[in-house]
Structure 1
């Protein structure tokens, strides 16, 4: 019988620096803030604004953005249900690695289905995970169209597009809901900061 690859692995986690030691050195508590919503809802804008604000406060922060990840780590994945799940699985493990290093992690991914958000929460760990729904209607996102994607969808050039060909499941009770149709970027950022601060302070 052929042995599974995992049978030849010998993790050394207990010999490494602890997460607590890293957090104390950095003066912060690690946490993963998972921003999700339709393309064009404002996820990346808020993630980057939050990163810059926290960095200015002396925090050590890492942003994981959907487009960046898909051009590198997940460049071999498409947009089928199976590939979307694998995309989120990999990202969640990367986010957990950063959190274990004591970093504050801000992600920006569409994450359209509840099962994907639950998978990410389970991988990261519920105590270290906050899901932040960045809400905006399909029509509002299409009117913004910062990447020109909605125009391509309308022209039939993009398939499996979330909100049109592929559904988006709105969360029943997100940890934080930010409605970018009703708030300015400044208002949304302030609410993010108000939510974030107590969760990253030692």
Structure 2
């Protein structure tokens, strides 16, 4: 995508550092990635509530929700999926600059797309969380009935069935939702943030 040559970046008087100091905490991206049905939305919202209870300003960007507005013009081709993640990465970067924690729940199946989002922000501002769950367990859950539609041929190019999911090569956190309760999964994320001095 070509950038216009007739634009100039305008620096803000209030800086990211200023906003962090006013908020009283760091700002960063918690990027939840995993198969459909793995528990990304459930876990990200539960973590958001736990952070909110600690008075940490945060917001959840959910994959389906974003397709009702900002990304409603995108389909599910590989090109559209890449553009979907590019846009979300740019929005997430704005949240980090605003001094808030942003949690994103997107399948984001391609490693290169996730890497490009990581490169948008500074070191230690992108925390990749692999919400790991076996495909057969995701299919059993099938909260939206999408796996059934994919198996019957109603949906094509569905991640995990006839479109690949590239597991994170070196995520900061791996949460196995099929092995742990939601409370335990939330605790794993919070423990990491505490140990790494994010919160």
| TM-score, with structure 2 as normaliser | 0.94
| Residue 7 of structure 1: aligned partner | 5
Aligned residues: 197
Q: Considering fraction of residues, name the structure with more helix.
A: 1
5 Å-filtered alignment, 1:134-145, equals 134-145=131-142
Gap regions ≥5 residues in structure 2: none
- Residues in 2 aligned to 1:158 and 1:195: alpha-carbon distance in whole angstroms: 37
| Aligned equivalents of 1:5, 1:129: Cα separation in 2 | 24
Cα distance per residue 1:40-98 (max 9 Å; x no partner): 00100000001111111111001111001111101111111111111111000000001
Q: Which residue of 2 aligns with 1:29?
A: 26
Instruction: Check if 1:168 corresponds to 2:165.
Output: yes
- Structure 1 gaps of 5+ residues are none
Q: CA RMSD in A?
A: 1.4
Q: Is the 8 A contact 1:93 1:124 kept in 2?
A: no
TM-score normalised by structure 1 residue count: 0.93
Correspondences of 1:60-71 after superposition (within 5 Å): 60-71=57-68
> Where do residues 85-100 of structure 1 align in structure 2 (5 Å cutoff)?
85-100=82-97
Partner of 1:157 in structure 2?
154
Q: Is the 8 A contact 2:27 2:100 kept in 1?
A: yes
